[in-house]
């Protein structure tokens, strides 16, 4: 049975490889636009499911397709990928000194049995108080425009992060335990 990752994210590919999984990458063409920025698990799970369906409908009938969606949530509002450096600055400023959550929903579909499995994981992140200099340095040194909430936890400079709770990989974009649980539910043979 073939395993397909419906994502081109280098971070997700790395996490899958670290799990020892052999997989093919077939990015989803699903348009990820949300109707608004109010957070609900249903919205994120729906996005992951639609990405998964998009790829599973194009896959052969002996595959398991995995898709994921990760969002940063502050005060019940979703902080998506910023469209400009100014928007990235404002997002990082809003995250300064407060705790926010990072939610990743993983959806899997077994194309042979038409079974689906869905699991969401929540982690919590707290930044230190960030100066304008620290924020501008991060924006100029890294690429915040392709990351939810304008940051990648794996590349944060020293003194940015106060603490995190939960799965570190979930904050990066894919929780290994969720991947394993979804694959087991879909009867995919894990080594």
Burial class (CB in 10 A: 0-12, 13-18, 19+), 50: middle
User: Please, is 51 exposed, middle or buried when counting C-beta atoms within 10 Å of its C-beta (0-12, 13-18, 19+)?
Assistant: buried
Q: How far apart are CA 119 and CA 101, in angstroms?
A: 16
Write out the DSSP string of 75-94: TTEEE---SSHHHHHHHHHH
State the angle between helix axes of 10-18 and 176-185 in degrees (0 to 180), rounded to the nearest 10: 70
Which positions are catalytic?
A: 69
Candidates 3, 12, 7, 8; CA nearest to 176 is: 12
Cβ 170 vs Cβ 124: under 8 Å: no
Structure tokens at 48: 């992951």
Distance CA 17, CA 29 (A): 23
């Amino acid at each position: 049975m073939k395993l397909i990752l419906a994502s081109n994210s280098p971070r997700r590919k790395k996490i899958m490889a670290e799990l020892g999984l052999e997989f093919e990458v077939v990015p989803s063409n699903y348009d990820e636009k949300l109707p608004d920025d109010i957070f609900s698990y249903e919205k994120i799970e729906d996005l992951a499911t639609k990405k998964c369906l998009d790829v599973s409908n194009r896959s052969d009938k002996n595959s398991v397709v995995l898709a994921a969606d990760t969002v940063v949530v502050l005060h019940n509002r979703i902080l998506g990928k910023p469209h400009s450096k100014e928007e990235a600055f404002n997002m990082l400023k809003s995250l300064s000194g407060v705790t926010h959550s990072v939610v990743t929903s993983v959806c899997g579909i077994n194309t042979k049995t038409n079974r689906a499995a869905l699991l969401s994981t929540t982690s919590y992140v707290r930044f230190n108080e960030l100066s304008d200099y620290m924020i501008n340095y991060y924006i100029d040194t890294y690429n915040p425009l392709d990351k939810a909430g304008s940051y990648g936890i794996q590349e944060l400079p020293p003194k940015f992060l106060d603490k995190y709770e939960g799965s570190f990989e979930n904050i990066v974009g894919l929780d290994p335990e969720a991947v394993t649980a979804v694959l087991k539910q879909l009867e995919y043979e894990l080594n």
